[in-house]
Structure 1
Protein backbone atom coordinates (compact mmCIF):
# COMPACT_ATOMS: atom_id res chain seq x y z
CA UNK A 1 0.00 0.00 0.00
CA UNK A 2 2.90 2.34 0.73
CA UNK A 3 4.38 1.59 -2.70
CA UNK A 4 1.04 2.28 -4.34
CA UNK A 5 0.70 5.59 -2.47
CA UNK A 6 4.14 6.65 -3.74
CA UNK A 7 3.30 5.64 -7.29
CA UNK A 8 0.06 7.61 -7.19
CA UNK A 9 1.92 10.67 -5.96
CA UNK A 10 4.59 10.45 -8.67
CA UNK A 11 1.96 9.86 -11.35
CA UNK A 12 0.02 12.90 -10.12
CA UNK A 13 3.14 15.03 -10.54
CA UNK A 14 3.43 13.92 -14.16
CA UNK A 15 -0.28 14.16 -14.94
CA UNK A 16 -0.32 17.79 -13.72
CA UNK A 17 3.10 18.53 -15.17
CA UNK A 18 2.78 22.31 -15.38
CA UNK A 19 1.64 22.50 -11.77
CA UNK A 20 4.38 20.36 -10.22
CA UNK A 21 7.45 20.72 -12.42
CA UNK A 22 10.14 23.39 -12.19
CA UNK A 23 8.92 24.69 -8.84
CA UNK A 24 11.13 27.77 -8.82
CA UNK A 25 10.13 30.51 -6.40
CA UNK A 26 12.60 32.91 -8.05
CA UNK A 27 10.49 33.13 -11.21
CA UNK A 28 8.87 36.59 -11.53
CA UNK A 29 5.26 35.39 -11.41
CA UNK A 30 5.88 33.24 -8.33
CA UNK A 31 7.76 36.10 -6.64
CA UNK A 32 4.87 38.46 -7.33
CA UNK A 33 2.25 36.09 -5.91
CA UNK A 34 4.37 35.56 -2.82
CA UNK A 35 4.94 39.29 -2.29
CA UNK A 36 1.20 39.92 -2.58
CA UNK A 37 0.61 37.42 0.20
CA UNK A 38 -1.51 35.15 -1.99
CA UNK A 39 -0.24 32.01 -0.21
CA UNK A 40 2.36 31.54 2.54
CA UNK A 41 3.05 29.58 5.71
CA UNK A 42 3.34 31.26 9.09
CA UNK A 43 6.67 30.78 10.89
CA UNK A 44 6.75 28.41 13.85
CA UNK A 45 4.06 25.97 14.93
CA UNK A 46 0.77 26.17 16.80
CA UNK A 47 0.12 24.62 20.21
CA UNK A 48 -0.25 21.18 18.58
CA UNK A 49 2.95 21.48 16.57
CA UNK A 50 1.28 22.14 13.22
CA UNK A 51 2.26 24.60 10.49
CA UNK A 52 -0.40 27.13 9.53
CA UNK A 53 -0.92 27.87 5.82
CA UNK A 54 -2.51 31.23 4.96
CA UNK A 55 -4.32 31.81 1.65
CA UNK A 56 -5.67 35.10 0.32
CA UNK A 57 -7.18 34.23 -3.08
CA UNK A 58 -8.66 37.70 -3.50
CA UNK A 59 -5.13 38.95 -4.22
CA UNK A 60 -5.30 37.35 -7.65
CA UNK A 61 -5.72 40.15 -10.25
CA UNK A 62 -8.08 39.08 -13.02
CA UNK A 63 -8.57 42.26 -15.05
CA UNK A 64 -6.12 41.57 -17.87
CA UNK A 65 -6.36 37.82 -17.46
CA UNK A 66 -10.13 37.66 -17.87
CA UNK A 67 -10.12 39.83 -21.00
CA UNK A 68 -7.47 37.61 -22.61
CA UNK A 69 -9.21 34.44 -21.46
CA UNK A 70 -12.53 35.49 -22.97
CA UNK A 71 -10.87 36.23 -26.32
CA UNK A 72 -9.00 32.94 -26.33
CA UNK A 73 -12.14 31.01 -25.42
CA UNK A 74 -13.89 32.53 -28.44
CA UNK A 75 -10.97 31.35 -30.56
CA UNK A 76 -11.23 27.95 -28.92
CA UNK A 77 -14.90 27.70 -29.79
CA UNK A 78 -14.12 28.56 -33.42
CA UNK A 79 -10.80 26.82 -33.92
CA UNK A 80 -10.31 24.41 -31.03
CA UNK A 81 -6.87 25.79 -30.09
CA UNK A 82 -7.24 27.00 -26.50
CA UNK A 83 -4.41 25.88 -24.16
CA UNK A 84 -5.50 26.70 -20.57
CA UNK A 85 -2.06 25.82 -19.16
CA UNK A 86 -0.60 29.06 -20.53
CA UNK A 87 -2.75 31.11 -18.23
CA UNK A 88 -3.15 32.02 -14.61
CA UNK A 89 -4.72 28.76 -13.45
CA UNK A 90 -1.34 27.07 -14.01
CA UNK A 91 0.38 29.80 -12.02
CA UNK A 92 -2.11 29.30 -9.19
CA UNK A 93 -1.41 25.56 -9.14
CA UNK A 94 2.36 26.10 -9.15
CA UNK A 95 2.44 28.48 -6.19
CA UNK A 96 0.36 25.96 -4.24
CA UNK A 97 2.70 23.14 -5.28
CA UNK A 98 5.77 25.15 -4.22
CA UNK A 99 4.20 25.86 -0.83
CA UNK A 100 3.03 22.32 -0.11
CA UNK A 101 6.12 20.57 -1.47
CA UNK A 102 8.34 22.76 0.67
CA UNK A 103 6.31 21.99 3.80
CA UNK A 104 6.16 18.27 3.07
CA UNK A 105 9.95 18.03 3.01
CA UNK A 106 9.80 18.27 6.81
CA UNK A 107 8.68 14.88 8.13
CA UNK A 108 7.31 16.45 11.31
CA UNK A 109 4.86 18.42 9.19
CA UNK A 110 3.63 15.21 7.57
CA UNK A 111 3.11 13.64 10.98
CA UNK A 112 1.46 16.55 12.79
CA UNK A 113 -0.59 17.86 9.88
CA UNK A 114 -1.60 21.35 8.79
CA UNK A 115 -4.01 24.12 9.65
CA UNK A 116 -5.37 26.16 6.73
CA UNK A 117 -6.67 29.73 7.01
CA UNK A 118 -8.24 31.52 4.04
CA UNK A 119 -9.49 35.08 3.63
CA UNK A 120 -12.15 35.25 0.93
CA UNK A 121 -12.20 39.05 0.71
CA UNK A 122 -12.09 40.11 -2.92
CA UNK A 123 -13.03 36.72 -4.31
CA UNK A 124 -15.68 37.11 -7.01
CA UNK A 125 -17.23 35.21 -9.89
CA UNK A 126 -14.19 35.51 -12.23
CA UNK A 127 -12.20 33.40 -9.78
CA UNK A 128 -14.64 30.56 -10.40
CA UNK A 129 -13.83 30.49 -14.13
CA UNK A 130 -10.21 29.49 -13.61
CA UNK A 131 -11.09 25.80 -13.70
CA UNK A 132 -13.89 23.87 -15.33
CA UNK A 133 -16.05 21.76 -12.98
CA UNK A 134 -14.32 18.62 -14.30
CA UNK A 135 -10.88 20.07 -13.60
CA UNK A 136 -11.95 21.19 -10.13
CA UNK A 137 -13.26 17.73 -9.24
CA UNK A 138 -10.07 16.03 -10.41
CA UNK A 139 -7.80 18.47 -8.60
CA UNK A 140 -9.67 18.23 -5.31
CA UNK A 141 -10.09 14.45 -5.37
CA UNK A 142 -6.51 13.71 -6.45
CA UNK A 143 -5.14 16.28 -4.04
CA UNK A 144 -6.98 14.91 -1.04
CA UNK A 145 -6.28 11.25 -1.74
CA UNK A 146 -2.77 11.46 -3.19
CA UNK A 147 -0.75 14.34 -1.73
CA UNK A 148 0.62 13.29 1.70
CA UNK A 149 -0.83 16.14 3.73
CA UNK A 150 -2.98 15.74 6.85
CA UNK A 151 -5.48 18.58 6.82
CA UNK A 152 -6.39 18.93 10.50
CA UNK A 153 -8.29 22.25 10.47
CA UNK A 154 -9.62 24.56 7.74
CA UNK A 155 -10.88 28.06 8.58
CA UNK A 156 -12.30 30.53 6.05
CA UNK A 157 -13.46 34.09 6.66
CA UNK A 158 -15.13 36.81 4.57
CA UNK A 159 -17.09 34.35 2.47
CA UNK A 160 -19.45 36.32 0.25
CA UNK A 161 -23.08 35.07 0.25
CA UNK A 162 -23.26 35.32 -3.56
CA UNK A 163 -20.69 32.53 -3.83
CA UNK A 164 -22.59 30.12 -1.60
CA UNK A 165 -23.30 27.82 -4.56
CA UNK A 166 -19.57 27.55 -5.22
CA UNK A 167 -18.85 26.77 -1.57
CA UNK A 168 -21.58 24.13 -1.54
CA UNK A 169 -20.09 22.56 -4.67
CA UNK A 170 -16.60 22.59 -3.15
CA UNK A 171 -17.83 21.02 0.09
CA UNK A 172 -19.54 18.27 -1.89
CA UNK A 173 -16.19 17.22 -3.34
CA UNK A 174 -14.33 16.57 -0.10
CA UNK A 175 -14.63 13.58 2.20
CA UNK A 176 -16.82 13.58 5.29
CA UNK A 177 -13.71 13.42 7.46
CA UNK A 178 -12.29 16.65 6.02
CA UNK A 179 -15.73 18.26 5.82
CA UNK A 180 -16.08 18.01 9.60
CA UNK A 181 -12.84 19.95 9.99
CA UNK A 182 -13.97 22.93 7.89
CA UNK A 183 -15.25 26.09 9.56
CA UNK A 184 -16.64 28.95 7.45
CA UNK A 185 -17.25 32.43 8.91
CA UNK A 186 -18.64 35.64 7.45
CA UNK A 187 -15.99 37.77 9.20
CA UNK A 188 -12.87 37.65 11.35
CA UNK A 189 -14.91 38.87 14.32
CA UNK A 190 -17.27 35.91 13.98
CA UNK A 191 -14.30 33.53 13.77
CA UNK A 192 -12.76 34.99 16.94
CA UNK A 193 -16.12 34.76 18.73
CA UNK A 194 -16.15 31.06 17.83
CA UNK A 195 -12.75 30.65 19.52
CA UNK A 196 -10.65 30.32 16.38
CA UNK A 197 -6.97 30.46 17.39
CA UNK A 198 -5.39 33.59 15.89
CA UNK A 199 -2.02 33.33 17.64
CA UNK A 200 -0.28 31.99 14.52
CA UNK A 201 -1.95 34.40 12.10
CA UNK A 202 -0.49 37.72 10.89
CA UNK A 203 -1.05 40.80 13.03
CA UNK A 204 -3.64 41.95 10.50
CA UNK A 205 -5.76 38.93 11.48
CA UNK A 206 -5.33 39.05 15.24
CA UNK A 207 -1.81 37.66 15.61
CA UNK A 208 1.36 39.44 16.67
CA UNK A 209 3.74 39.39 13.68
CA UNK A 210 3.04 41.69 10.70
CA UNK A 211 2.17 39.90 7.49
CA UNK A 212 5.11 41.44 5.64
CA UNK A 213 7.56 39.88 8.10
CA UNK A 214 5.87 36.49 7.83
CA UNK A 215 6.06 36.58 4.05
CA UNK A 216 9.76 37.46 4.13
CA UNK A 217 10.53 34.62 6.55
CA UNK A 218 8.59 32.22 4.34
CA UNK A 219 10.51 33.49 1.30
CA UNK A 220 13.75 32.52 3.03
CA UNK A 221 12.38 29.02 3.71
CA UNK A 222 11.43 28.64 0.07
CA UNK A 223 14.81 29.83 -1.17
CA UNK A 224 16.58 27.35 1.09
CA UNK A 225 14.39 24.54 -0.20
CA UNK A 226 14.57 25.61 -3.86
CA UNK A 227 17.42 23.24 -4.91
CA UNK A 228 15.59 20.27 -3.40
CA UNK A 229 12.27 21.12 -5.07
CA UNK A 230 13.96 21.47 -8.46
CA UNK A 231 15.54 18.01 -8.14
CA UNK A 232 12.05 16.53 -7.72
CA UNK A 233 11.65 16.87 -11.49
CA UNK A 234 13.93 13.82 -11.80
CA UNK A 235 11.31 11.60 -10.12
CA UNK A 236 9.29 9.85 -12.83
CA UNK A 237 7.23 6.74 -13.52
CA UNK A 238 6.71 4.87 -16.79
CA UNK A 239 3.39 6.24 -17.99
CA UNK A 240 2.76 3.29 -20.31
CA UNK A 241 2.32 1.06 -17.25
CA UNK A 242 -0.83 2.90 -16.18
CA UNK A 243 -4.33 3.03 -17.56
CA UNK A 244 -5.51 5.88 -19.75
CA UNK A 245 -7.83 7.05 -16.99
CA UNK A 246 -4.98 7.09 -14.46
CA UNK A 247 -2.83 9.10 -16.87
CA UNK A 248 -5.67 11.61 -17.22
CA UNK A 249 -6.02 11.98 -13.46
CA UNK A 250 -9.60 10.69 -13.65
CA UNK A 251 -11.39 10.22 -10.32
CA UNK A 252 -12.56 6.76 -11.38
CA UNK A 253 -8.92 5.62 -11.44
CA UNK A 254 -8.67 6.34 -7.71
CA UNK A 255 -11.32 3.70 -7.02
CA UNK A 256 -9.74 0.96 -9.11
CA UNK A 257 -6.74 -1.27 -8.69
CA UNK A 258 -3.68 0.79 -9.54
CA UNK A 259 -1.25 -0.01 -12.33
CA UNK A 260 -3.78 -1.43 -14.78
CA UNK A 261 -2.75 -1.01 -18.40
CA UNK A 262 -5.73 0.08 -20.46
CA UNK A 263 -4.88 -0.72 -24.07
CA UNK A 264 -8.46 -0.95 -25.23
CA UNK A 265 -8.78 -4.72 -25.44
CA UNK A 266 -10.46 -7.37 -23.35
CA UNK A 267 -7.16 -9.08 -22.51
CA UNK A 268 -5.36 -6.01 -21.17
CA UNK A 269 -2.15 -6.79 -19.32
CA UNK A 270 -2.17 -6.10 -15.61
CA UNK A 271 0.70 -4.43 -13.79
CA UNK A 272 1.40 -3.69 -10.15
CA UNK A 273 -1.30 -3.99 -7.48
CA UNK A 274 -4.72 -5.22 -8.62
CA UNK A 275 -8.11 -5.24 -6.95
CA UNK A 276 -9.81 -2.49 -4.98
CA UNK A 277 -7.70 0.47 -3.93
CA UNK A 278 -7.20 0.59 -0.16
CA UNK A 279 -6.21 3.95 1.29
CA UNK A 280 -3.11 4.19 3.43
CA UNK A 281 -4.68 6.21 6.23
CA UNK A 282 -3.21 7.23 9.58
CA UNK A 283 -5.69 9.73 10.92
Structure 2
Protein backbone atom coordinates (compact mmCIF):
# COMPACT_ATOMS: atom_id res chain seq x y z
CA UNK A 1 0.00 0.00 0.00
CA UNK A 2 1.39 3.39 -1.02
CA UNK A 3 1.96 6.04 1.61
CA UNK A 4 -0.08 9.08 0.50
CA UNK A 5 -0.03 10.94 3.81
CA UNK A 6 1.25 14.51 3.88
CA UNK A 7 1.70 14.78 0.12
CA UNK A 8 -0.38 17.96 -0.06
CA UNK A 9 -2.24 20.38 2.18
CA UNK A 10 -5.34 19.39 4.18
CA UNK A 11 -7.36 21.88 2.10
CA UNK A 12 -6.28 20.19 -1.11
CA UNK A 13 -7.00 16.76 0.37
CA UNK A 14 -10.52 17.92 1.22
CA UNK A 15 -11.02 19.29 -2.30
CA UNK A 16 -9.86 15.99 -3.79
CA UNK A 17 -12.43 14.14 -1.72
CA UNK A 18 -15.31 16.51 -2.42
CA UNK A 19 -14.73 17.35 -6.09
CA UNK A 20 -12.85 14.31 -7.37
CA UNK A 21 -14.39 11.55 -5.24
CA UNK A 22 -10.92 10.62 -4.00
CA UNK A 23 -11.16 8.32 -1.00
CA UNK A 24 -7.87 7.68 0.85
CA UNK A 25 -9.27 4.38 2.13
CA UNK A 26 -9.89 3.00 -1.37
CA UNK A 27 -7.29 4.92 -3.39
CA UNK A 28 -4.90 1.98 -3.74
CA UNK A 29 -7.73 -0.32 -4.83
CA UNK A 30 -8.86 2.22 -7.43
CA UNK A 31 -5.35 2.42 -8.82
CA UNK A 32 -5.14 -1.36 -9.03
CA UNK A 33 -8.53 -1.50 -10.78
CA UNK A 34 -7.18 0.71 -13.54
CA UNK A 35 -3.95 -1.28 -13.74
CA UNK A 36 -5.92 -4.54 -14.06
CA UNK A 37 -7.52 -3.23 -17.26
CA UNK A 38 -4.18 -2.91 -19.05
CA UNK A 39 -4.45 -6.50 -20.26
CA UNK A 40 -7.60 -5.56 -22.21
CA UNK A 41 -5.53 -3.40 -24.59
CA UNK A 42 -2.60 -5.53 -25.78
CA UNK A 43 -2.27 -3.22 -28.77
CA UNK A 44 -0.99 -0.41 -26.54
CA UNK A 45 2.39 -0.23 -24.87
CA UNK A 46 1.76 1.17 -21.38
CA UNK A 47 5.24 2.40 -20.53
CA UNK A 48 4.41 3.53 -16.99
CA UNK A 49 2.10 1.55 -14.71
CA UNK A 50 3.25 2.85 -11.33
CA UNK A 51 0.77 4.10 -8.74
CA UNK A 52 1.66 7.79 -8.95
CA UNK A 53 1.26 7.85 -12.72
CA UNK A 54 -2.10 6.07 -12.81
CA UNK A 55 -3.36 8.34 -10.05
CA UNK A 56 -3.16 11.30 -12.46
CA UNK A 57 -5.75 9.70 -14.71
CA UNK A 58 -8.07 8.85 -11.84
CA UNK A 59 -8.01 12.45 -10.65
CA UNK A 60 -8.63 13.74 -14.16
CA UNK A 61 -11.75 11.58 -14.40
CA UNK A 62 -13.03 12.00 -10.82
CA UNK A 63 -12.11 8.45 -9.83
CA UNK A 64 -14.35 6.77 -12.37
CA UNK A 65 -12.02 3.82 -12.94
CA UNK A 66 -13.44 2.95 -16.37
CA UNK A 67 -13.16 6.52 -17.68
CA UNK A 68 -9.73 6.85 -16.10
CA UNK A 69 -8.55 3.76 -17.97
CA UNK A 70 -10.01 5.07 -21.25
CA UNK A 71 -8.00 8.26 -20.78
CA UNK A 72 -4.91 6.25 -19.79
CA UNK A 73 -5.21 4.18 -22.97
CA UNK A 74 -5.81 7.21 -25.16
CA UNK A 75 -2.78 8.93 -23.66
CA UNK A 76 -0.47 6.18 -24.92
CA UNK A 77 -2.43 5.51 -28.10
CA UNK A 78 -2.06 9.17 -29.12
CA UNK A 79 1.67 8.90 -28.54
CA UNK A 80 1.90 5.69 -30.57
CA UNK A 81 -0.11 7.07 -33.50
CA UNK A 82 1.70 10.43 -33.60
CA UNK A 83 5.21 9.19 -32.86
CA UNK A 84 6.91 12.08 -34.61
CA UNK A 85 5.53 14.57 -32.11
CA UNK A 86 7.20 12.76 -29.24
CA UNK A 87 10.59 12.04 -30.77
CA UNK A 88 13.39 13.97 -29.05
CA UNK A 89 10.71 15.07 -26.59
CA UNK A 90 12.94 17.18 -24.39
CA UNK A 91 13.68 20.78 -23.54
CA UNK A 92 17.16 20.19 -24.94
CA UNK A 93 15.61 19.83 -28.41
CA UNK A 94 16.49 23.21 -30.01
CA UNK A 95 13.17 23.47 -31.85
CA UNK A 96 11.11 22.92 -28.71
CA UNK A 97 13.34 25.15 -26.62
CA UNK A 98 12.90 28.00 -29.08
CA UNK A 99 9.11 27.80 -28.75
CA UNK A 100 9.39 27.58 -24.96
CA UNK A 101 11.62 30.66 -24.82
CA UNK A 102 9.00 32.54 -26.85
CA UNK A 103 6.49 31.85 -24.09
CA UNK A 104 4.66 28.82 -25.46
CA UNK A 105 3.61 28.58 -22.75
CA UNK A 106 4.52 31.09 -20.08
CA UNK A 107 3.51 30.01 -16.57
CA UNK A 108 2.60 32.72 -14.08
CA UNK A 109 4.09 32.61 -10.59
CA UNK A 110 0.69 32.84 -8.89
CA UNK A 111 -2.20 30.41 -9.12
CA UNK A 112 -5.77 31.66 -9.46
CA UNK A 113 -8.20 31.78 -6.52
CA UNK A 114 -9.05 28.12 -7.11
CA UNK A 115 -5.40 27.08 -6.90
CA UNK A 116 -5.09 26.45 -10.64
CA UNK A 117 -1.89 27.02 -12.60
CA UNK A 118 -2.21 29.90 -15.07
CA UNK A 119 -0.69 29.37 -18.52
CA UNK A 120 -0.39 32.32 -20.89
CA UNK A 121 0.23 32.18 -24.63
CA UNK A 122 0.87 35.39 -26.55
CA UNK A 123 0.42 34.63 -30.23
CA UNK A 124 2.35 37.77 -31.26
CA UNK A 125 5.52 35.93 -30.18
CA UNK A 126 5.12 33.33 -32.93
CA UNK A 127 7.06 34.26 -36.03
CA UNK A 128 6.01 31.69 -38.60
CA UNK A 129 9.23 31.92 -40.59
CA UNK A 130 11.22 30.70 -37.55
CA UNK A 131 9.30 27.52 -36.78
CA UNK A 132 5.95 25.84 -37.57
CA UNK A 133 3.00 25.58 -35.21
CA UNK A 134 3.76 21.93 -34.43
CA UNK A 135 6.75 23.05 -32.34
CA UNK A 136 4.38 25.12 -30.20
CA UNK A 137 2.14 22.09 -29.68
CA UNK A 138 5.14 19.96 -28.71
CA UNK A 139 6.37 22.61 -26.28
CA UNK A 140 2.90 22.86 -24.77
CA UNK A 141 2.61 19.09 -24.27
CA UNK A 142 6.09 18.92 -22.74
CA UNK A 143 5.24 21.75 -20.35
CA UNK A 144 2.05 20.05 -19.23
CA UNK A 145 3.98 16.84 -18.56
CA UNK A 146 6.35 18.77 -16.33
CA UNK A 147 3.62 20.64 -14.46
CA UNK A 148 1.30 17.67 -13.95
CA UNK A 149 3.95 15.94 -11.83
CA UNK A 150 2.80 18.18 -8.98
CA UNK A 151 -0.08 16.59 -7.08
CA UNK A 152 -1.59 19.94 -6.14
CA UNK A 153 -1.82 20.72 -9.86
CA UNK A 154 -3.39 17.34 -10.57
CA UNK A 155 -6.18 18.24 -8.16
CA UNK A 156 -6.62 21.96 -8.87
CA UNK A 157 -5.90 21.92 -12.61
CA UNK A 158 -5.07 24.65 -15.11
CA UNK A 159 -6.49 27.74 -16.75
CA UNK A 160 -5.17 29.00 -20.07
CA UNK A 161 -5.16 32.56 -21.37
CA UNK A 162 -4.49 33.09 -25.07
CA UNK A 163 -3.72 36.69 -26.05
CA UNK A 164 -4.42 37.12 -29.76
CA UNK A 165 -3.12 40.69 -29.99
CA UNK A 166 -1.45 41.27 -33.37
CA UNK A 167 -2.36 37.76 -34.58
CA UNK A 168 -2.07 37.97 -38.36
CA UNK A 169 -3.71 36.38 -41.38
CA UNK A 170 -0.34 34.84 -42.16
CA UNK A 171 -0.31 33.07 -38.79
CA UNK A 172 -3.94 32.00 -39.13
CA UNK A 173 -3.18 30.48 -42.52
CA UNK A 174 -0.69 28.10 -40.89
CA UNK A 175 -3.37 26.57 -38.64
CA UNK A 176 -4.95 23.87 -40.75
CA UNK A 177 -8.03 21.93 -39.58
CA UNK A 178 -5.80 18.88 -39.14
CA UNK A 179 -3.46 20.73 -36.78
CA UNK A 180 -6.36 22.15 -34.79
CA UNK A 181 -7.86 18.70 -34.44
CA UNK A 182 -4.49 17.28 -33.40
CA UNK A 183 -4.24 19.93 -30.69
CA UNK A 184 -7.74 19.33 -29.37
CA UNK A 185 -7.18 15.59 -29.20
CA UNK A 186 -3.88 16.01 -27.40
CA UNK A 187 -5.30 18.30 -24.72
CA UNK A 188 -8.96 17.36 -24.42
CA UNK A 189 -8.95 13.60 -24.91
CA UNK A 190 -5.43 12.33 -24.30
CA UNK A 191 -3.93 14.14 -21.34
CA UNK A 192 -4.67 13.67 -17.59
CA UNK A 193 -5.35 17.26 -16.60
CA UNK A 194 -8.28 19.32 -15.39
CA UNK A 195 -8.76 22.44 -17.49
CA UNK A 196 -10.90 24.93 -15.65
CA UNK A 197 -11.10 27.46 -18.45
CA UNK A 198 -9.61 28.65 -21.72
CA UNK A 199 -9.80 32.41 -22.13
CA UNK A 200 -9.32 34.22 -25.45
CA UNK A 201 -8.55 37.93 -25.29
CA UNK A 202 -8.11 40.47 -28.09
CA UNK A 203 -9.10 37.90 -30.68
CA UNK A 204 -9.75 39.12 -34.27
CA UNK A 205 -12.76 37.94 -36.24
CA UNK A 206 -10.81 35.25 -38.07
CA UNK A 207 -9.89 33.58 -34.77
CA UNK A 208 -13.58 33.36 -33.97
CA UNK A 209 -14.05 31.91 -37.46
CA UNK A 210 -11.39 29.30 -36.74
CA UNK A 211 -13.09 28.54 -33.45
CA UNK A 212 -16.25 27.78 -35.41
CA UNK A 213 -14.27 25.14 -37.31
CA UNK A 214 -13.09 23.64 -34.03
CA UNK A 215 -16.50 23.47 -32.38
CA UNK A 216 -17.46 20.07 -33.87
CA UNK A 217 -14.30 18.60 -32.33
CA UNK A 218 -15.09 19.85 -28.83
CA UNK A 219 -16.97 18.02 -26.13
CA UNK A 220 -19.93 19.86 -24.65
CA UNK A 221 -18.15 20.25 -21.32
CA UNK A 222 -15.12 21.76 -23.07
CA UNK A 223 -17.28 24.25 -24.99
CA UNK A 224 -18.63 25.57 -21.70
CA UNK A 225 -15.10 26.34 -20.51
CA UNK A 226 -14.05 28.48 -23.49
CA UNK A 227 -14.58 32.21 -23.08
CA UNK A 228 -14.17 34.80 -25.84
CA UNK A 229 -13.52 38.12 -24.11
CA UNK A 230 -12.42 40.23 -27.05
CA UNK A 231 -11.05 43.56 -25.85
CA UNK A 232 -13.10 43.47 -22.64
CA UNK A 233 -10.58 42.49 -19.99
CA UNK A 234 -13.13 43.19 -17.27
CA UNK A 235 -14.89 39.94 -18.12
CA UNK A 236 -11.53 38.13 -17.96
CA UNK A 237 -10.97 39.58 -14.48
CA UNK A 238 -14.31 38.22 -13.34
CA UNK A 239 -12.82 34.75 -13.88
CA UNK A 240 -9.18 35.42 -12.99
CA UNK A 241 -8.63 38.26 -10.56
CA UNK A 242 -6.47 41.11 -11.83
CA UNK A 243 -4.53 41.10 -8.55
CA UNK A 244 -2.67 38.01 -9.79
CA UNK A 245 -2.39 38.96 -13.46
CA UNK A 246 0.46 40.87 -15.17
CA UNK A 247 0.01 44.30 -16.68
CA UNK A 248 -0.24 42.89 -20.22
CA UNK A 249 -3.56 41.33 -19.24
CA UNK A 250 -4.85 44.37 -17.39
CA UNK A 251 -3.54 43.06 -14.08
CA UNK A 252 -1.86 44.79 -11.17
CA UNK A 253 1.43 42.87 -11.32
CA UNK A 254 4.51 43.74 -13.41
CA UNK A 255 4.97 42.30 -16.87
CA UNK A 256 5.74 38.59 -16.85
CA UNK A 257 8.97 37.04 -18.08
CA UNK A 258 8.10 34.80 -21.03
CA UNK A 259 11.34 32.81 -20.80
CA UNK A 260 11.37 32.12 -17.05
CA UNK A 261 9.51 28.82 -17.25
CA UNK A 262 11.64 27.63 -20.18
CA UNK A 263 14.78 28.22 -18.12
CA UNK A 264 13.27 26.21 -15.26
CA UNK A 265 12.71 23.29 -17.62
CA UNK A 266 16.25 23.64 -18.93
CA UNK A 267 17.69 23.59 -15.41
CA UNK A 268 15.85 20.33 -14.80
CA UNK A 269 16.90 19.02 -18.23
CA UNK A 270 13.32 17.83 -18.50
CA UNK A 271 12.30 15.33 -21.15
CA UNK A 272 10.41 12.08 -21.63
CA UNK A 273 11.49 9.01 -23.56
CA UNK A 274 8.51 7.18 -25.01
CA UNK A 275 10.73 4.55 -26.55
CA UNK A 276 10.46 5.98 -30.05
CA UNK A 277 12.72 4.81 -32.82
CA UNK A 278 14.87 6.96 -35.08
CA UNK A 279 14.36 10.63 -34.27
CA UNK A 280 13.01 13.10 -36.80
CA UNK A 281 12.44 16.83 -36.62
CA UNK A 282 10.54 17.12 -39.89
CA UNK A 283 7.23 18.74 -39.00
CA UNK A 284 5.75 17.49 -42.29
CA UNK A 285 6.05 13.95 -40.94
CA UNK A 286 3.82 15.01 -38.07
CA UNK A 287 1.14 16.88 -39.97
CA UNK A 288 0.97 14.22 -42.67
CA UNK A 289 0.73 11.43 -40.10
CA UNK A 290 -2.83 12.10 -38.93
CA UNK A 291 -3.98 8.60 -39.74
CA UNK A 292 -7.08 8.45 -37.52
CA UNK A 293 -8.92 10.19 -34.73
CA UNK A 294 -9.03 8.79 -31.22
CA UNK A 295 -12.34 10.34 -30.27
CA UNK A 296 -13.24 13.65 -31.88
CA UNK A 297 -15.22 13.63 -35.15
CA UNK A 298 -14.10 15.19 -38.38
CA UNK A 299 -15.73 18.45 -39.33
CA UNK A 300 -17.13 16.77 -42.45
CA UNK A 301 -16.91 13.42 -44.13
CA UNK A 302 -14.90 14.77 -47.05
CA UNK A 303 -11.94 15.89 -44.95
CA UNK A 304 -9.14 13.37 -45.26
CA UNK A 305 -6.45 14.02 -42.71
CA UNK A 306 -3.92 12.07 -44.74
CA UNK A 307 -4.17 14.90 -47.23
CA UNK A 308 -3.42 17.65 -44.70
CA UNK A 309 -1.37 20.33 -46.45
CA UNK A 310 0.61 23.32 -45.29
CA UNK A 311 -1.09 25.47 -47.91
CA UNK A 312 -1.60 29.02 -46.69
CA UNK A 313 -4.04 30.02 -49.44
CA UNK A 314 -6.30 26.99 -49.00
CA UNK A 315 -6.35 27.38 -45.22
CA UNK A 316 -7.21 31.07 -45.44
CA UNK A 317 -10.07 30.40 -47.86
CA UNK A 318 -11.43 27.87 -45.38
CA UNK A 319 -11.26 30.41 -42.58
CA UNK A 320 -13.03 33.02 -44.66
CA UNK A 321 -15.97 30.72 -45.29
CA UNK A 322 -16.73 30.76 -41.57
CA UNK A 323 -16.99 34.53 -41.25
TM-score, normalising length: structure 2: 0.59
Please list the CA deviations of residues 71-94 of structure 1 after superposition, one character each: whole Å capped at 9, or x if unmatched: xxxxxxxxxxxxxxxx61331221
Judge conservation of contact 1:138–1:249 (CA < 8 Å) in 2.
no
**Residues 24, 226 of structure 1: 8 Å contact kept:** yes
Moved over 6 A (4+): none
Partner residue of 2:178 out of 129, 134, 142: 134
Q: Pick from 210, 215, 225: which aligns with 2:255?
A: 210
2:119 is paired with a residue whose SS is: strand
1:107 aligns with 2:151: yes
- Residue in 1 aligned with 2:122? 56
**How many Å separate the matches in 2 of 1:210 and 1:135?**
31
Q: Paired residue for 1:16?
A: 82
- The answer as to whether partners of 1:18 and 1:94 remain within 8 angstroms in 2 is no
- Structure 1 residues 126-135 or 186-195, which shifts more? 186-195
Deviations 1:79-138 (A, max 9, x none): xxxxxxxx6133122111221111122222122111111100121222233343234224
Partner of residue 166, structure 2: 122
1:40 aligns with 2:106: yes
- Residue 211 of structure 1 deviates from its aligned partner by 1.1
Q: 50-59 or 136-145, which moves further after superposition?
A: 136-145
Alignment check: 8 A CA contact 1:155 1:183 kept: yes
Cα separation, partners in 2 of 1:189 and 1:19, compared to 1, 3 Å: same
Quick one: distance in 2 between partners of 1:193 and 1:143? Answer: 24
Distance 2:240 2:112 in 1: 12
Alpha-carbon distance in 2 for matches of 1:192, 1:92: 24
Unaligned runs of 5+ in 2: 1-65, 278-288, 297-323
Distance 1:12 1:149 in 2: 15
2:164 counterpart of 1:98? no
2-structure distance, mates of 1:104, 1:195? 22
5+ residue gaps, structure 1, are: 66-86, 237-246, 256-283
| Inter-partner Cα distance in structure 2 for 1:89 and 1:248 | 15
Q: Is the 8 A contact 1:51 1:115 kept in 2?
A: yes
Question: Structure 1 residue 234 and structure 2 residue 275: aligned?
Answer: yes
1:159 Cα deviation from its structure 2 partner: 0.7
**CA–CA distance in structure 1, aligned partners of residues 81 and 234 of structure 2:** 40
Cα offset for 1:225?
A: 4.2
For the Cα contact (< 8 Å) 2:201–2:229, is it kept in 1? yes
Alignment root-mean-square deviation, CA = 2.9
Give the count of matched residue pairs: 219
The CA deviation at 1:3 is 4.0
Q: Which residue of 1 aligns with 2:264?
A: 221
Instruction: Output the CA distance in 2 between the equivalents of 1:46 and 1:147.
Output: 21
- Indicate how the Cα distance of structure 1 residues 113 and 192 shifts in structure 2: closer, same or farther if over 3 A, else same: closer
Q: 1:235 to 1:162 in 2, by over 3 A?
A: closer
Q: 2:315 — aligned with what? A: none
Q: Which residue of 2 aligns with 1:84?
A: none
> Relative to total residues, which structure has the larger helix share, 1 or 2?
1
What TM-score does the superposition give when structure 1 sets the normalisation length? Answer: 0.66
Match among 140, 154, 158 for residue 198 of structure 2: 154
